[in-house]
Amino acid sequence: PQCAALNMTNIAVQELSVKAAMEKDKEAAFHACALDPLTASVVSLPDIRKMFEELWKAEGDRLSYFDV
């Protein structure tokens, strides 16, 4: 059960990432980044948002699928 619990923190982020892609949901993509255990442990939420928006802008041509 301990290993399963540890894995669930990552699986939840992966499921949210899939949801973001399937539903073309930019905010869900942000939440997946913000809830990543490693990211959340070392970066503040405002900084995660800033980095996410910078990355989204930089990779915009690859993210046209989201059409936001």
Neighbours of 58 (CB within 10 A): 10
CB 21 within 8 A of CB 28: no
Flag whether pLDDT at 68 surpasses 80.
no
Task: Please tell me the pTM assigned to this model.
Answer: 0.85
Q: Where are the domains of the chain?
A: 2-66
Which tens digits make up the pLDDT trace of 51-65?
A: 999 999 999 899 888
- What is the per-residue pLDDT for 16? 95
At 19, phi and psi to the nearest 5? -60, -45
